[in-house]
A and B are shown apart, each in its own frame.
Chain A
């Protein structure tokens, strides 16, 4: 298990798309490797910041007009 395995699978790992045995291997490595830990934590941080900033609320008029159209 090496740092390069973590770096190569970083995106799939934070997306939750790795199979459980690969994810477990990474989690074990993170316990002992500070630099990979920082890498993963920054990627997690980036992803959740993007998610929080880009969550939108549709305008009420849009909601109303869709409801009206489906009632026709």
Chain B
């Protein structure tokens, strides 16, 4: 077996960064909303990461580093292709109640469990797509990828207080939308 020092750059790269492929692909899907574009974005991310790998110092947070490259690549592509989708309106931001007590809570825990069970991945994707990009990113990075607020602040390049408020409001809005669809469908969520 080769010792650490005999490992090639390629071997180290594969070991340390390829483990995040599934997470990066999932995040790319939420940004692009299209599997083909998501694959392109992840490819480009790894190509950039591999190029920068020699400057990369061990001990840096490799996962956060990769997610930041992916998001920056996405923003640059969107800027250059001018394929910028119309940003979703966010007038709901100021309308959210300060206390986050969801509507469904008044039904008690059992109906809430039923609501959660009935949720489909498509419902959540649809709800997330209605959030502005920084809100969507903050929620996905925190709730799906398990990043800390501090890591998210670095990835999104915004202050930690802004991360906190994006997560609060993003989650609350997502929940509000899903519960609304659920109640409108009288307990059914279509895809």
Contact = CB atoms under 8 A, between A and B. Distances in A.
Interface string B79-102: 000000000000000000011111
B58 to A, nearest CB: 18
Contact of B148 (A17, A41, A46, A50): A17
Contacts of B149: 15, 17
Nearest to A50: B143
Nearest to A67: B14
B119 interface: yes
Given A17-B149, A62-B39, A62-B42, A54 B121 contact: yes
Contacts of A24: none
A10 interface: yes
B31 interface: no
B163 to A, nearest CB: 10
Nearest to A66: B46
A35 to B, nearest CB: 8
Contact of A69 (B46, B98, B167): B46
Contacts of B75: none
B39 A59 contact: yes
B10 A71 contact: yes
Interface in B1-58: 10, 13-14, 18, 21-26, 29-30, 35, 39, 42-43, 46-47, 50
A53 interface: yes
A11 B168 contact: yes
B13 A70 contact: yes
A30 to B, nearest CB: 14
A71 B146 CA distance: 31
Interface in B88-136: 98-102, 104-105, 108-109, 112-113, 116, 119-121, 124-125
A70 B42 contact: no
8 contacts: A8-B99, A39-B105, A47-B143, A50-B143, A53-B120, A56-B29, A58-B22, A58-B25
Interface of B: 10, 13-14, 18, 21-26, 29-30, 35, 39, 42-43, 46-47, 50, 98-102, 104-105, 108-109, 112-113, 116, 119-121, 124-125, 139-140, 142-144, 146, 148-149, 164, 167-168, 171, 174-175
Interface of A: 4, 7-8, 10-12, 15, 17, 38-39, 41-43, 45-47, 49-51, 53-59, 61-63, 65-67, 69-71
Q: Please name the 7 residue pairs, one residue from A and one from B, whose CB atoms are nearest each other, closest first.
A: A56-B26, A58-B25, A53-B121, A7-B99, A11-B168, A49-B116, A66-B46
